[in-house]
């Protein structure tokens, strides 16, 4: 980590944009400025790892408590989380707080101890980064770092390329990295080019959120609804999206020096660059062929978001604008990134409800505390 911090500071002091570097290294701008300040004040020694002793770690049990839960289940193989919770409370006495029933159920699930008669469908666990060998197998997306236009407004270019053919699918001059404009831009692209099998991005907004459920964003949720797999590069490893980053270097050199007077003029420059990049510019990785000679639109048409249904669940619920659902006359917080989405609910034990989105299981809700207990990230790809 210390070497990563030194590399970050060195590149910043050489003049690279703070926003670009923070996105590449997977840190916030606040953290980036803090690292540079520490270096300027105290030198390289200030970037060494510092001891951290957190007061507690959310949703993490002490190993001995987890072992006790597993042992109790094996001792009482037909008991559910509700009965095990009561038994655990008696065994622990005054030794400490007893985990919630939903936490106990999540532990049983993690160790493969859920009653087979009630066992849910296998949840998706994500995939490693794919090869993207054929057109539309994999699209790569990113925001090229923002820059000032002639009218002193910032431009945030949203770019998308096809991994296999290097075809530049989109370069949209947006006024921010907010989700709504990005969602509209992708819907326009999907109507024009069809749907890819997977989209690869970094972990920054609007592709992911640091505080959203499983780091999802509304944009990535929309991709999931369309049957598009999510791939994310590891923080601090931009080489995992190297083809896309190399295109950015060419884009920056040929369209932003100098920048356009306004967004319309800048978009015209981007459009001209797209045409040249795809149809005229020879590409060494393609044996000097052009990306247009290797790319074909996707055979998977975009016809809007498909309806969601949960025939194997007990009931359905739509997430409200506040990120909550209504379950047995109680409000349960799920996540604002799923606002407007229909979820499936199934009672897996007495008072314990499994919450699912599409074929992904999000976690369990215990009606005693009405909180979502998350489980192993079903969207993890790396």
pLDDT in tens, 223-232: 999 999 999 8
Residue 80, H or E segment: none
Per the confidence metrics, is the pTM higher than 0.85? no
Considering the domain boundaries, does residue 56 fall inside one? Answer: no
Residues 113 and 194 in one domain: no
Read off the tokens for 319.
Answer: 């997430």
Q: Which residue range(s) make up the domain with 323?
A: 315-374
What share of the chain has pLDDT > 70, as a percent?
90
Residues 153 and 284 in one domain: yes
Computed over every residue of the chain, the mean pLDDT equals: 86
The pLDDT of residue 381 is 52
Considering the domain boundaries, does residue 300 fall inside one? Answer: no
Round to whole Å and give the CA distance between 380 and 337: 17
The pLDDT of residue 33 is 82
The pLDDT of residue 359 is 92
More confident residue, 308 or 73: 308
Round to whole Å and give the CA distance between 338 and 225: 11
Considering the domain boundaries, does residue 304 fall inside one? Answer: no
Name which of 302-306, 314-318, 367-371 the model is least confident about. Answer: 367-371
Q: Per-residue pLDDT for 365 more than 80?
A: yes
β-pairing, 360-366 with 330-333? Answer: unpaired
Residues 265 and 355 in one domain: no
Considering the domain boundaries, does residue 360 fall inside one? Answer: yes
Residues 43 and 74 in one domain: no
Give the model's confidence band at 6: pLDDT under 50 very low, under 70 low, under 90 confident, else very high. Answer: confident
Residues 72 and 180 in one domain: no
Residue 342: Cβ-neighbour burial (10 angstroms; 0-12, 13-18, 19+): middle
Considering the domain boundaries, does residue 128 fall inside one? Answer: no
Considering the domain boundaries, does residue 379 fall inside one? Answer: no
The pLDDT of residue 115 is 56
Return the C-alpha torsion angle 18, 19, 25, 29, nearest 10: 80
Ranges 89-93, 107-111, 333-337, most confident: 333-337
Residues 101 and 225 in one domain: no
Q: Which residues contact 184 (CB under 8 A, 6 or more apart)?
A: none
Considering the domain boundaries, does residue 126 fall inside one? Answer: no
Q: Per-residue pLDDT for 286 more than 60?
A: yes
Considering the domain boundaries, does residue 303 fall inside one? Answer: no
Give the model's confidence band at 2: pLDDT under 50 very low, under 70 low, under 90 confident, else very high. Answer: low
Counted domains in the chain: 4
β-pairing, 315-318 with 352-357? Answer: unpaired
More confident residue, 341 or 60: 341
For 192-222, the pLDDT digits (tens) are 999 999 999 998 889 988 778 888 999 999 9
Name which of 35-39, 66-70, 208-212 the model is least confident about. Answer: 35-39
The pLDDT of residue 121 is 39
The pLDDT of residue 55 is 37
The pLDDT of residue 87 is 86
Query: Cβ distance 168 to 158 under 8 Å?
Result: no
Residues 199 and 269 in one domain: yes
Residues 186 and 213 in one domain: yes
Residues 252 and 146 in one domain: yes
Residues 214 and 325 in one domain: no
The pLDDT of residue 125 is 36
Name which of 14-28, 106-120, 134-148, 325-339 the model is least confident about. Answer: 106-120
For 165-175, the pLDDT digits (tens) are 999 999 999 99
Residues 153 and 211 in one domain: yes
Residue (of 345, 338, 346) closest to 320 by Cα position: 338
Question: How far apart, in Å, are the Cα atoms of 303 and each of 71, 139, 172, 197, 269?
Answer: 51, 19, 22, 15, 30
Give the model's confidence band at 16: pLDDT under 50 very low, under 70 low, under 90 confident, else very high. Answer: confident
Residues 273 and 170 in one domain: yes
Name which of 5-19, 132-146, 366-380 the model is least confident about. Answer: 5-19
The pLDDT of residue 120 is 42
The pLDDT of residue 127 is 44
CATH number at residue 181: 3.30.420.10
Q: What is the mean pLDDT of residues 154-159?
A: 96
The pLDDT of residue 8 is 79
């Amino acid at each position: 980590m210390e070497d990563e911090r030194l590399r970050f500071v060195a590149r910043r002091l050489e003049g690279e944009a703070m926003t670009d570097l923070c996105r590449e290294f997977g840190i916030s701008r606040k953290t980036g400025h803090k690292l540079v300040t520490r270096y300027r004040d105290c030198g390289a020694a200030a970037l060494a790892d510092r001891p951290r002793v957190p007061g507690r770690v959310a949703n993490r049990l002490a190993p001995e408590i987890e072992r006790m839960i597993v042992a109790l289940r094996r001792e009482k193989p037909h008991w559910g989380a509700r009965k095990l919770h009561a038994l655990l409370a008696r065994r622990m006495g005054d030794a400490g707080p007893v985990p919630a029933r939903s936490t106990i159920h999540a532990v049983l699930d993690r160790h493969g101890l859920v009653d087979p008669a009630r066992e849910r469908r296998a949840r998706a666990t994500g995939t490693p980064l794919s090869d993207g060998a054929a057109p539309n197998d994999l699209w790569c997306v990113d925001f090229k770092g923002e820059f000032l236009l002639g009218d002193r407004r910032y431009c945030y270019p949203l770019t998308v390329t096809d991994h296999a053919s290097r075809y530049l699918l989109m370069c949209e001059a947006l006024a921010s990295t907010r989700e709504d404009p990005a969602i509209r831009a992708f819907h326009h692209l999907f109507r024009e080019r069809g749907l890819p099998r997977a989209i690869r991005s970094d972990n920054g907004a609007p592709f992911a959120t640091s505080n959203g459920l499983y780091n999802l964003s509304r944009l990535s949720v929309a991709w999931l609804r369309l049957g598009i797999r999510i791939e994310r590069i590891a923080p601090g490893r931009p080489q995992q999206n190297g083809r896309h980053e190399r295109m950015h270097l060419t884009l920056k050199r040929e369209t932003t020096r100098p920048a356009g007077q306004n967004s319309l003029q800048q978009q015209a420059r981007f459009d001209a660059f797209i045409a040249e990049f795809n149809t005229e510019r020879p590409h060494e990785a393609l044996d000097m062929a052009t990306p247009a000679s290797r790319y074909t639109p996707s055979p998977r048409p975009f016809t809007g978001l498909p309806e969601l249904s949960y025939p194997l669940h007990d009931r359905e619920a739509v997430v409200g604008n506040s990120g909550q659902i209504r379950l047995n006359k109680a409000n349960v917080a799920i996540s604002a990134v799923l606002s407007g989405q229909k979820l499936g609910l199934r009672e897996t034990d007495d008072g314990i409800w499994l919450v699912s989105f599409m074929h992904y299981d999000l976690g369990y809700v215990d009606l005693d505390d009405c909180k979502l207990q998350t489980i192993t990230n079903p969207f993890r790809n790396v």
